[in-house]
């Protein structure tokens, strides 16, 4: 596939050449991969870093004096330092490795629940959260008698306190004197909306509320500076930012992490164990029970270094060009409606296809559309995208979602638009 975009500072073909999977055929057609919000593809460097750990180092970390164990420990801690620097955390020990965003939020919810939740306390989330940033809080709410509150969102899929129904004009209305935790996504996986998290964190901070940002969809597309954001906790997954699956991060502000109790117990997270009492290891190990996903950590470090080799703002601009092109081209299709039209978005486009304006013909189910696109080698996601309450808010059972990465091209967008048009003709 050739991009029609001008090769300037950002050379999409040079980037594409680094992703072996892009040479694969699906149903005999060149793969067009637009499911990056679910999991992004991996550049060769990341695949190699992970496999060469197994081929040349494979040993457990922090537990041996032998050479391979030392090498594994050094590689793991180098990755931690890369991530610290990438998100501008103050200390490397504020970077905790988990198995992904879901595990990071579960760790935070369970530990914070034990630390501070009392009956009647409130946890505030938004109406566009992924189930991973809803259900863990519901579980702790049940345990401690706390209440989950939801920030409503506008028809465009934005959090605008001044326009939200029920929030009469300012952030005062969002928070109550029982709010203890604000847990909100940086970017919506379904709508692509970039939330005004910095402003919300500032408001929460004034009231002594702990803030957790679900950064699963931000980390590959936006600069993330946890000190500038001012958040207490920030969660993300490796596999959504060109890294391996099964590895993620929970960043936490040192002072808060020191106060939070461990969630899981086992090896590595202890200082001294007796049958009477156990004392815990220092940060970050207090929160890293058991053998970590060492190869995944090394792969994630390499993915971040790979991204850092590029001008990240040029990558983001490229993805926004794809979004703009897709939006304009898709809206030409009669009955096509975009769900999520925020002013500030990343390269995610969710849509439904209603019946045509002429009245003859009917709506097209996202599942049928996704299946027909797949036959043309085009991978999109269909369904509720783990945001069922958001689907209910928009009165739809699901959407078709295309989510772009830096290796996608305008020509691929054109292929998808042609595929959608073809499917509409067949199905109406
Ligand atoms: C916004 C958001 N939060 C959390 C998650 C969960 O991430 P993981 O499955 O990697 O734990 C996702 C995954 O799609 C997501 O998009």
What is the average pLDDT across 345-364?
A: 90
Q: Whose CA is nearest to atom 14 of ligand 1?
A: 38
Distance 36 CA to ligand 1 centre (A): 12
Q: Average model confidence (pLDDT) for the chain?
A: 94
**Alpha-carbon gap, residue 201 to 368, rounded angstroms:** 41
Confidence class for position 237, pLDDT limits 50, 70, 90: very high
* Ligand 1 touching residue 195 (CB < 6 A): no
375 and 276 in one domain? Answer: no
Q: 28 with 111, same domain?
A: no
Q: For residue 62, what pLDDT is reported?
A: 86
| Tokens coding 36 | 């990056």
Neighbours of 148 (CB within 10 A): 17
d(CA 258, CA 312): 33
Report the chain's terminal Cα–Cα distance, integer Å. Answer: 29
Of 239, 273, 308, which one is at a domain's C-terminal end? 308
422 burial type by CB count under 10 A (0-12 exposed, 13-18 middle, 19+ buried):
middle
> Atom 15 (ligand 1): residue with closest C-alpha?
216
Residues 142 and 37 in one domain: no
Q: Which residues of 326-345 are buried (b: 16+ CB within 10 A; e: fewer)?
A: beebbeebebbbbbbbbeeb
The pick from 185, 213, 217 for probing ligand 1's pocket by mutation, whose C-beta has the most ligand atoms within 8 angstroms, reads 217
For residue 2, is it within any domain?
A: no
Mean pLDDT of 360-367: 88
Distance 191 CA to ligand 1 centre (A): 14
The token pair that represents 238 in the structure block = 């490796």
Pair of tokens at residue 329:
């081209």
- The pLDDT value recorded for residue 7 is 37
Q: Which two tokens stand for residue 132?
A: 């991973």
307 contacts 242 by C-beta, under 8 angstroms: yes
Could you count the other beta carbons within 10 Å of the beta carbon of residue 152? 17
Tell me which of 114-123, 236-245, 356-365, 413-422 is least confident: 356-365
Q: Is residue 158 part of a domain?
A: yes
Rounded distance between C-alpha atoms, residue 203 and residue 172, angstroms: 8
User: What is the percent of the chain with per-residue pLDDT over 90, rounded to a whole number?
Assistant: 91
Bridging pattern class, strands 122-126 and 179-185: parallel
Q: Are 107 and 235 in a shared domain?
A: yes
Q: Is residue 68 very low, low, confident or very high in pLDDT (cuts 50, 70, 90)? A: very high
Question: Residue 226 sits in a domain of what CATH number?
Answer: 3.40.640.10
101 Cα to the center of ligand 1, angstroms: 6
Residues 6+ apart with CB under 8 A from 167: 151, 152, 161, 173, 174
Look at residue 231 and tell me whether its pLDDT is greater than 50.
yes
3-12, 209-218, 233-242, 393-402: which range is least confident on average?
Answer: 3-12
Check if the beta carbon of residue 226 is closer than 8 Å to that of residue 87.
yes
DSSP characters over 208-249? T-EEEEE-TTTTTTS---HHHHT-SEEEEEGGGTTS-TT-EE
304 and 315 together in one domain:
no
What are 254-268's pLDDT values in tens digits? 999 999 999 999 999
- 393: CATH: 3.90.1150.10
Let me know whether 133 and 228 are in one domain. yes
Whole-model pTM?
0.96
Distance 357 CA to ligand 1 centre (A): 36
Atom of ligand 1 nearest to the CA of 187: 1
* Ligand 1 lined by 214 (C-beta under 6 Å): yes
Distances (CA, A) of 327 to 232, 323, 324, 341, 365: 35, 6, 5, 10, 19
pLDDT at 6 over 50: no
My answer on whether 325 and 249 are in the same domain is no
Q: How many Å lie between the centroid of ligand 1 and the Cα of residue 224?
A: 17
For a mutational test of ligand 1's pocket, the pick from 38, 39, 97, 101, i.e. the residue with the most ligand atoms closer than 8 A to its C-beta, is 101
Q: Is residue 132 in contact with ligand 1, taking CB distance under 6 Å?
A: yes
Higher pLDDT, 356 or 18: 18
Instruction: Looking at the structure, tell me whether residues 201 and 121 fall in a common domain.
Output: yes
Look at the block and give the residue holding tokens 């922090």.
Answer: 62
Residue 93 lies in a domain: yes
For residues 174 and 124, is the Cβ–Cβ distance under 8 A? yes
Among 1-15, 16-30, 273-287, 389-403, the least confident range: 1-15
Greater confidence, 390 or 167? 390
- Please check whether residues 35 and 118 belong to one and the same domain: no
Q: What is the pLDDT of residue 208?
A: 97
User: Is residue 322 within 6 Å of ligand 1 at its C-beta?
Assistant: no
| Percent helix, percent strand, percent coil in the chain, to nearest 5 | 40, 15, 40
Determine the structural domain holding residue 386 and report its residue range.
Answer: 12-42+311-427
Specify the pLDDT at position 253. 98
pLDDT band at 170 (very low <50, low <70, confident <90, very high): low
Ligand 1 and 237: CB distance under 6 A: yes
Q: Which range scores top for mean pLDDT: 120-124, 149-153, 172-176?
A: 120-124
- Confidence tier at 186 by pLDDT (50, 70, 90): very high
Residue 178 lies in a domain: yes
How confident is residue 8, by pLDDT bands cut at 50, 70 and 90?
Answer: very low
Alpha carbons 98 and 350: distance in angstroms, whole number: 29
CB atoms within 10 A of CB 28: 8
Q: Is residue 353 part of a domain?
A: yes
Rounded-to-integer distance, Cα 326 and Cα 413, Å: 6
Supply the pLDDT for residue 172. Answer: 59
Atom index in ligand 1 nearest the CA of residue 248 equals: 10
Which of 277, 308, 339 is where one domain is finished?
Answer: 308
Instruction: Tell me what pLDDT residue 216 has.
Output: 98
Residue 35 belongs to some domain of the structure: yes
Output the pLDDT for position 2: 42
- Specify whether 136 is located in the same domain as 221: yes
Q: Is 130 in the pocket of ligand 1 (CB under 6 A)?
A: yes
Distance (Å, whole) CA 164 – CA 14: 44
pLDDT of 4 > 60? The answer is: no
Q: Give burial (CB, 10 Å; 0-12/13-18/19+) of 25.
A: exposed
Q: What is the pLDDT of residue 64?
A: 78
Residue 167 clears pLDDT 60, i.e. is over it: no
**Cα within 13 Å of Cα(205), Cβ side:** 11
What is the pLDDT, as a whole number, of residue 171? 61
Q: Does one domain contain both 150 and 204?
A: yes
Please list, in sequence order, all residues whose beta carbon lies within 8 angstroms of the beta carbon of residue 309, skipping any fewer than 6 positions away. Answer: none
Look at the chain and report how many structural domains it folds into: 2
Domain end marker among 275, 308, 341 = 308
């Amino acid at each position: 596939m050739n991009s029609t975009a001008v090769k300037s500072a950002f050379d999409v073909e040079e980037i594409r050449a680094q992703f072996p999977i892009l040479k694969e055929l699906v149903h005999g057609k060149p793969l067009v991969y637009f499911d990056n919000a679910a999991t992004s593809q991996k550049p060769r460097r990341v695949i190699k870093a992970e496999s060469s750990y197994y081929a040349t180092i494979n040993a457990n970390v922090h537990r041996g004096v032998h050479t391979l164990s030392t090498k594994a420990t050094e590689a793991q801690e180098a990755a931690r330092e890369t991530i610290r620097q990438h998100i501008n955390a103050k200390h490397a020990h504020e970077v905790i490795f988990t198995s992904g965003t879901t595990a990071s939020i579960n760790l935070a919810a369970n530990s914070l629940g034990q630390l501070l939740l009392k009956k009647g306390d409130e946890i505030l989330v938004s109406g566009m959260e992924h189930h991973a940033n809803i259900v863990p809080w519901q579980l702790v709410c049940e345990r401690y008698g706390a209440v989950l509150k939801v920030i409503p969102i506008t028809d465009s899929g934005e959090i605008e306190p001044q326009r939200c129904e029920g929030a009469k004009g300012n952030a005062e209305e969002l928070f109550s004197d029982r709010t203890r935790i604000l847990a909100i996504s940086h970017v919506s996986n379904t709508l692509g909306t970039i939330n005004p998290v910095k402003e919300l964190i500032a408001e929460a901070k004034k009231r002594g509320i702990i803030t957790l940002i679900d950064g699963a969809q931000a980390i590959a597309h936006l600069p993330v500076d946890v000190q500038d954001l001012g958040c207490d906790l920030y969660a993300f997954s490796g596999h959504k930012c060109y890294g391996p699956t099964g590895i993620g991060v929970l960043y936490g502000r040192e002072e808060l992490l020191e106060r939070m109790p461990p969630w899981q117990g086992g090896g590595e997270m202890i200082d001294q164990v007796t049958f009477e009492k156990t004392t815990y290891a220092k940060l970050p190990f207090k929160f890293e029970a058991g053998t970590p996903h060492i190869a995944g950590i090394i792969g994630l470090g390499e993915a971040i270094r790979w991204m850092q080799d590029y001008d990240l703002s040029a990558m983001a601009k490229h993805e926004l060009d794809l979004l703009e092109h897709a939006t304009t081209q898709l809206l030409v299709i009669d009955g096509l409606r975009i769900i999520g039209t925020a002013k500030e978005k990343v390269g995610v486009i969710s849509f439904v296809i209603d019946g045509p304006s002429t009245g003859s013909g009917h709506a097209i189910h996202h599942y049928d559309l996704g299946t027909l696109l797949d036959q043309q080698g085009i991978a999109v996601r269909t369904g509720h995208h783990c945001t069922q309450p958001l689907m209910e808010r928009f009165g739809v059972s699901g959407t078709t979602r295309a989510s772009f990465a830096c290796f996608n091209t305008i020509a691929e967008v054109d292929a998808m638009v042609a595929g959608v048009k073809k499917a509409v003709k067949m199905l109406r």
